[in-house]
Amino acid sequence: MEVDREDGRSQNQLRPLACSRNILHRAHGSASWSQGDTKVLAAVYGPKAGTKKNENPEKACIEVIWKPKTGQIGKPEKEYEMILKRTLESVCILTVNPNTTTSIIVQVVNDDGALLPSAINAACMALVDAGIPMKHLAVAICCCVAKSGYVILDPTKLEEQQKMKAFAYLVFPNSVHSVLPEGSLRVEGEPIENGIITSVTHGIMSVDDYFYCLERGRAASVKLSDFLRRNLQQQSTDSSKAG
Amino acid sequence: MEGRLANSWRLTVNDKNFIKTALLSEIRIDGRKPFEYRKISIKFGREDGSSEVQLGQTRVMGMVTAQLVQPYRDRPKEGILSIFTEFSPMADPSFEPGRPGELAVELGRIIDRGLRESRAVDTESLCILASKFVWAIRIDLHILDNGGNLVDAANIAALAALLTFRRPECSLGGEDGQEVIVHPPEIREPLPLTVHHLPIAISFGFFSNESILVIDPTHNEEAVMGGRMTTTVNANGDICAIQKSGGEGVPQRVIMQCLQLATSKAASITKQIKDAVEVVNTERALRKVKRHPTSTGVDVREKQN
C-alpha cells in the first residue's frame, strides 16, 4: 500500500542518521545521535566509586539524568530516565565493577519525533566511547500504527501528533557477527537478536498490529546495527584518543 | 553522593607551579599569549532561537522560547526577560543535578545584568496589551562542557540565540479589541526581537606573582588564579557591567588596562556573532522561499514579502 508521508519517505524508511563520538572533553564518553531533525547528546561519567542507598552494592549501578530542552523536569522526564536505566542495565555487564556508579546524562537538543529511541541509541554509543563493558548494543526504533491501519517506522513529531493512533518504542539487541559458524549466543534455541529488550507502547493497538510492528522493527534494527557497527569501527581506526 | 572523592577534581601542586612559572615568561599552557582569546565557533540549530557556541573546549547551548503572560504590576507596558542557566552534570563531574549552585547563579546574574539593565533587548516592543498580555522571553543556557570561562561562552550563546529567535506575530481582535490572536508561522511571518546592542562579557584572571593578567582562562588556569573579573562591554565602548567578587586586590591601572582590552576584544567578537547570524538568516530566508512549491518561477535572489 502506497503511503503518503510528508517528507516523501516510504513506510519502512528511516530518516537520515548521523552520529559522532567523543565530542566532549571533560566527559569520559560522549556521543551525539540525530535521526532527521531529532538530535540528542549523551555523556557518560564512570565508573565512579560507591552506589546509591537503595542499590545493590554487589553490582555496578547505572544512573540516568535526562535534561529536557527547556522547562522544568517533570514526570515524563522521570519516566524516560527509568526506561533508559532499565534498558541499559540489561545491556551492560554489571558484575565486572561491583559497587560503582556509572552516570549517563542525556541532553535533548531538538525533538522532532522518536525521542526516546534516539536517546537510547545515543546512550549506547556514549557507553562504548567511555569503554563501559557491555554484552551487546541496544538498538532502538519507533513504530506507529496510523488511524487508517498501516504501520510506519520512525515518525516525525507532526506524524506522531496528527496521524497516529498508537505507537511503540522497541529496543532490540544488535545483530551478531560471530566468528564461529554457529553463533554461540543462542537463548533457548533462538538467536539472541530475536529477543526484545524493551517495549513501551502508547495508545491502543490490536495484537496483530503489535506483532506486525515487532516484525518491521526487527528488520529495521538490522539496518541500524549495521550503521552502528560501521560507525564505531571507522571511528576507532582513525581517531586517536590522547587522554 | 555529595562531596564524594570521585567528584572533586584537583590540580596537582606540580601542575599549579608549572602554570605559574610559565606565566612569568608570558607563556600559557595551551600555547596562547596572555591577551589572546580562544577560537570561537557559533553554530545554530534547526529551530529559530537555538544556538551552540564552542569557545576552545567549553561548549554551551542556548535556547530561546516565548510565552504570552501577564506583565508585572509595576511594569505594565514592558515584556519579561528571564535567564535560566543549567549546569548540566555532563559538563563537569563536580556539577550535581538539581538546585543550581553558587557558580550557576552568579553566571546567570552576570548575563542577566548585561542584557536587561543595559536595555540591550527592547522590552517595550514585547507588550501587546498593556497590563494584560506581554511576551515573556525565556533564555535557557545549558552548559555542556566545562573547559573554563563559562560566562563568556554562555553570554555569546545567549546573544546568538536572541538574534536568531523569531516570535509569532499577534494582533488585537475580539469585540472590544481586548483579545489577542496569535498568528501561526505559516500564516504570518514571525518577527525578530529588537536588540539595540550586543553586550559581550570578557573575563580576566589575576595571578598572585607580579600581578599577571590573562584573558579567557581555561579551567586549569581557573584552578590556579587568585582572582577573576568579568567586564561586560559593547562595541560602542559602553561598560554594561563589571563583576569582581572577592579574590585578590588589583591596582587601579590594571582595571583600566582590562577595560581597554575588553573594548577591543568586544568589537571583534561582536563582528563574529553578527556574521554568523547573517549567514543563518540568509539560509533560513532561502529555505522559506523553497517552502512554497506552487509558486512557479521564483527567483531565489528576490525577497519574498
Q: Tell me, what's the pLDDT at B305?
A: 44
CB-neighbour burial class of residue A175 (10 A; exposed 0-12, middle 13-18, buried 19+): buried
Q: Tell me, what's the pLDDT at B146?
A: 93
Which domains, and CATH codes, for chain B?
2-304 (3.30.230.70)
Cβ pair B89:A105 closer than 8 A: yes
Cβ pair A49:B61 closer than 8 A: no
Mutation target vs B (from A20, A22, A25, A26; most B CBs, 10 A cutoff): A26
Cβ pair B90:A43 closer than 8 A: yes
Residues in B closer than 8 angstroms to A43, CB to CB, are 90, 144
Q: Tell me, what's the pLDDT at A53?
A: 84
Q: How far is B289 from chain A (nearest CA, A)?
A: 17
CB-neighbour burial class of residue B98 (10 A; exposed 0-12, middle 13-18, buried 19+): exposed
Q: Tell me, what's the pLDDT at A202?
A: 87
Residue for cell digits 503572560?
Answer: B69
Q: How far is A82 from chain B (nearest CA, A)?
A: 16
pLDDT level of residue A179 (50, 70, 90 thresholds): low
pLDDT, tens digit, 9 for 90 and up, residues A189-205:
566 656 888 899 888 88
Share of chain A above pLDDT 90, in %: 40
pLDDT, tens digit, 9 for 90 and up, residues B20-59:
999 988 899 989 999 999 999 999 988 889 999 999 999 9
Q: Tell me, what's the pLDDT at A19?
A: 92
Of A24, A65, A67, the CB nearest to B142: A67
Q: Residue A177 pLDDT more than 70?
A: no
Would you call A242 an interface residue with chain B, using a CB distance cutoff of 8 Å? no
Q: Tell me, what's the pLDDT at A185?
A: 53
Mutation target vs B (from A70, A101, A102, A127; most B CBs, 10 A cutoff): A70
Q: How far is A10 from chain B (nearest CA, A)?
A: 21
- The per-residue pLDDT string of chain B (305 residues; one tens digit each, 9 = 90 and over) reads 444 545 567 889 999 999 999 998 889 998 999 999 999 999 998 888 999 999 999 999 999 999 999 999 898 889 999 999 989 889 988 888 878 888 899 999 999 999 988 889 999 888 888 888 899 999 999 999 999 999 999 999 999 999 999 998 888 877 677 778 888 888 888 889 999 999 999 999 998 866 789 999 999 999 998 889 999 999 898 999 999 988 888 889 999 999 999 999 999 999 999 999 999 999 988 887 776 555 444 445 444 44
- Domain residue spans in chain A? 17-176+195-236
Cβ pair A107:B5 closer than 8 A: no
Sheet of A151-153, strand order: A151-153, A138-146, A164-173, A198-202
In CATH, the architecture of A17-176+195-236 is 2-Layer Sandwich (3.30)
Average pLDDT in the A162-187 region?
69
Would you call B142 an interface residue with chain A, using a CB distance cutoff of 8 Å? yes
Q: Residue A241 pLDDT more than 50?
A: no
CB-neighbour burial class of residue A157 (10 A; exposed 0-12, middle 13-18, buried 19+): middle
| Angle at alpha carbon of residue A220, lines to A217 and A222, rounded to 5° | 115
Please report the residues numbered 70 through 89 in chain B whose beta carbons come closer than 8 angstroms to any beta carbon of chain A.
Answer: 86, 88-89
pTM for this predicted structure: 0.88
Average pLDDT in the A77-101 region?
92
C-alpha A66/C-alpha A69 separation (Å) is 10
Residues in A closer than 8 angstroms to B4, CB to CB, are 48-50
Average pLDDT in the A116-123 region?
94
Looking at per-residue pLDDT, the higher value among A95 and B1 belongs to A95
CA separation, residue A95 to residues A67, A157, A187, B145 (Å)? 28, 39, 20, 30
Would you call B6 an interface residue with chain A, using a CB distance cutoff of 8 Å? yes
Q: What is the DSSP letter of B245?
A: -
pLDDT level of residue A242 (50, 70, 90 thresholds): very low
